[in-house]
Amino acid sequence: MTIPQTNFNPPFNITRASHLVFTARDLAASRDFYVEVMGLIVSDEDADTIWLRGVEERCHHSLTLKRTTGQPQCERVGFRVFTDEDLTRAKAHFDRTGISADFVEVPFQGRTLHFNDPAGTPVELVATMKTQPRMHTKNHVHRGAAALRMDHYQVLVPDVLSAAKFYMDLGFRISDYIYVEAADRVVGTFLHRKDNPWDIVLLTRSGPRFHHGGYVVEGVDDIIRACDVAGNLGFADRLEHGPGRHGHLHSYYLYVRDPDGHRTELLLPGIQVIDIDDEPVRCVVKPNANSTLWGLPAPRSWVEEATSFAGVEVRHPGVEGEPMTAEKYLAARKPEAVVS
């Protein structure tokens, strides 16, 4: 199985994953969750929208929550580009390649370009935002996990390699990829532009659908504090998976679901992936195996449930696959012998 190659001279310069836009039915409950459990800071809010950021972030927002009366959805995933000129280059590139792209006005953001990638994922590019003071040293106001910054997001797509090629043509690199040896198939790719393993993760399932966004915390104790706060404030049932250690070893994790079901990962800072000879690492998935280093496999909800994108048709892969789940793993275990 051949994986795509990175274009090291991309048509414009994407620097990192930067922000997400969700809709929410109960803004007050969502505000409590993201402020008290996740530890995000409210940059601005009105009756229908809340803009939040991590304690380390200068950009005005990395998460926007918009009130809805319908099904909660993900409206957009966002990337930063380095300069405003990169937006002009991006528009010209998409015009040349037949991808519809339009400049739009977005509150607190500079010129913003909207397009859908070939899988159908709604994306926006922005070079500048209003800036706010960093709050990472203001420990007396930190809440919950005191999430530092947005790190990445994961999108479910029916054709991982096709979607990966689109982003690799734009300069993204693969840090790791998930390979099912028995089927000779790549089912997941971890793509990055900044110097850690992730900006966008692509995983084979019906899609495009939004799986999760990841926020970095300073230490494992921040993850445990988030669990304690969630338990004390009535959000215990929103702790979905973890804490645990990923099988490809780069980070500890905890996955949580907000009141509308949107999923967020809390994780520690990733390893550095910078040098040209730091080539993609194959992570082999064995049949019926727990792929985490420690902790249970992901529950069925983590495997099957995701947030829909607004106005986007979901397509199905040729082979859906049957990943190991916590439910399957526990059902298959034999009771241990009792020693008298």
3-state secondary structure 235-253: CHHHEEEEEEECCCCCCEE
Distance CA 239, CA 74 (A): 20
Percent of the chain with pLDDT over 90: 89
The pTM (predicted TM-score) of the whole model is: 0.96
Question: Which of helix, strand or coil describes residue 113?
Answer: strand
Neighbours of 88 (CB within 10 A): 16
Predicted local confidence at residue 337, as pLDDT: 46
Which letter does DSSP use for residue 42 in this model?
E
The residue whose two tokens read 């019926």 is 288
Closest CA to 226 of 246, 258, 256, 259: 256
Helix (H) or strand (E) holding 320: none
The dihedral formed by the CA atoms of 7, 10, 15 and 18, expressed in degrees to the nearest 10: -90
Closest CA to 160 of 186, 122, 123, 192: 186
Strands (E) across the chain are located at 14-24, 41-45, 49-53, 63-67, 74-81, 101-104, 112-116, 122-126, 149-157, 173-180, 185-192, 200-204, 209-216, 239-245, 252-257, 263-267, 281-285, 307-308
Residue 300 above 80 pLDDT? yes
Residue 330 above 80 pLDDT? yes
Predicted local confidence at residue 151, as pLDDT: 98
Residue 224 above 70 pLDDT? yes
Whether the CB-CB separation of 151 and 194 falls below 8 Å is answered with no
Find the mean pLDDT for residues 251-272.
Answer: 96
Quote the mean pLDDT of the chain.
95
Residue 291 above 90 pLDDT? no
Distance CA 7, CA 5 (A): 7
Residue 36 above 80 pLDDT? yes
Question: Which of helix, strand or coil describes residue 100?
Answer: coil
Distance CA 314, CA 308 (A): 8
Predicted local confidence at residue 336, as pLDDT: 59
